Amino acid sequence: MGESLPLLEIATLAVGACLAGAMNAIAGGGTIITFPLLIAFGMPAIQANATSTVALTVGIFGSVYGYRQNLPAAKPWMKLFGPVSLVGGLFGAWLLTVTSEKFFNDLVPFLILFATVLFLLGNVLNRLAGFDALEMTTHSAKRFTAAAAQFAVAVYGGYFGAGIGILMLASFALIGLKNIHEMNAIKTVLGGLINVVAAVYLVWAGLVQWPEAIVMMIGSTIGYYGGAALTQKISQAQVRLLIAGIGLALSAVFFWRQFC
């Protein structure tokens, strides 16, 4: 890639990153926009994945600011999920540099579909399992289960990341969290940790194309803030339907992309 980008490419990447940032603030899946866009403009897949990760990571700060009123709810969970998110994100980024993408990419549509169904049934499964959010702070077995699930999500996020928000929201529903705005705030902070550590590793590995990344950073920051503000102006039921719709659409796109 050259140092100077054509105007059409700049405009397309900026708009695409803005939409991706809004999607990530609402539920996740913004990578499904940025990753194919970079490939469409001729970037190799591994570099496109790394560039997309770095661009969307910077924009997360816009979403964090948008969720600032709900951030206090995220603090109690950071001690439990923060360390495993950092380690998992780093491990996932390392996997990207040493393994083939094909096998993992074949799993992506199944993971996203599973996470969406899990999210939709989260409250029902939570009641059947007898989980309660407050118990997670004292019950060691349930703490371990919740931390292990978040570690798996973090590995996936560090490796590719599309649908990571859906996966986290699903796991939060299973452990007893119910307020969707607070869940989104926790998801945003943890997603930021995962993406930051993955982005640092990918930058260190020399996989990021900076002209494209900078353009998309600006667009994604605007989108993250707008998406975070939007979700808090509509009802929790509407947000849940929107999240489910995004999840189902993402899984359909990835099934088509991988197998059709």
Asked if residue 2 is part of any domain, the answer here is no
pLDDT at 1: 45
Asked if residue 237 is part of any domain, the answer here is yes
DSSP assignments along the chain, one per residue: --SS--HHHHHHHHHHHHHHHHHHHHTS-THHHHHHHHHHTT--HHHHHHHHHHHHHHHHHHHHHHTGGGGGGGHHHHHHHHHHHHHHHHHHHHHHHHS-HHHHHHHHHHHHHHHHHHHHTHHHHHHHHT--GGGGGT-HHHHHHHHHHHHHHHHHHHHT-TTHHHHHHHHHHHTT---HHHHHHHHHHHHHHHHHHHHHHHHHTT---HHHHHHHHHHHHHHHHHHHHHHTTS-HHHHHHHHHHHHHHHHHHHHHHHH-
Asked if residue 227 is part of any domain, the answer here is yes
Structural domain count, the chain: 1
pLDDT at 130: 53
Please state, in angstroms and rounded to a whole number, the distance separating the CA atoms of residues 47 and 25: 24
Interhelix angle for 164-174 vs 101-120, to 10°? Answer: 40
Number of other residues whose CB lies within 10 A of the CB of residue 133: 17
For the whole model, what pTM was predicted?
0.76
Asked if residue 121 is part of any domain, the answer here is yes
Residue with tokens 């719709």: 245
Asked if residue 238 is part of any domain, the answer here is yes
The tens-digit pLDDT sequence of the chain (260 residues) is 446 789 999 999 999 999 888 887 776 678 888 988 998 899 988 898 899 999 988 777 777 777 778 788 778 788 889 999 999 999 999 998 887 767 877 887 887 788 778 777 766 655 554 555 545 555 566 778 888 889 999 998 898 877 787 788 888 877 777 787 788 888 888 988 898 999 999 999 999 999 999 999 999 989 888 887 777 777 767 777 777 788 788 888 888 888 87
Asked if residue 136 is part of any domain, the answer here is yes
User: How far, CA to CA in Å, does 247 sit from each of 9, 165, 170, 251?
Assistant: 28, 9, 11, 6
pLDDT at 80: 84
Number of other residues whose CB lies within 10 A of the CB of residue 31: 24
Asked if residue 1 is part of any domain, the answer here is no
Asked if residue 223 is part of any domain, the answer here is yes
Give the chain's radius of gyration (CA, Å): 17
Collect all residues with Cβ–Cβ distance below 8 Å to 26 and sequence separation of at least 6. 165, 184, 227, 230, 231, 239, 242, 243, 246
Q: Which domain holds residue 169?
A: 7-259
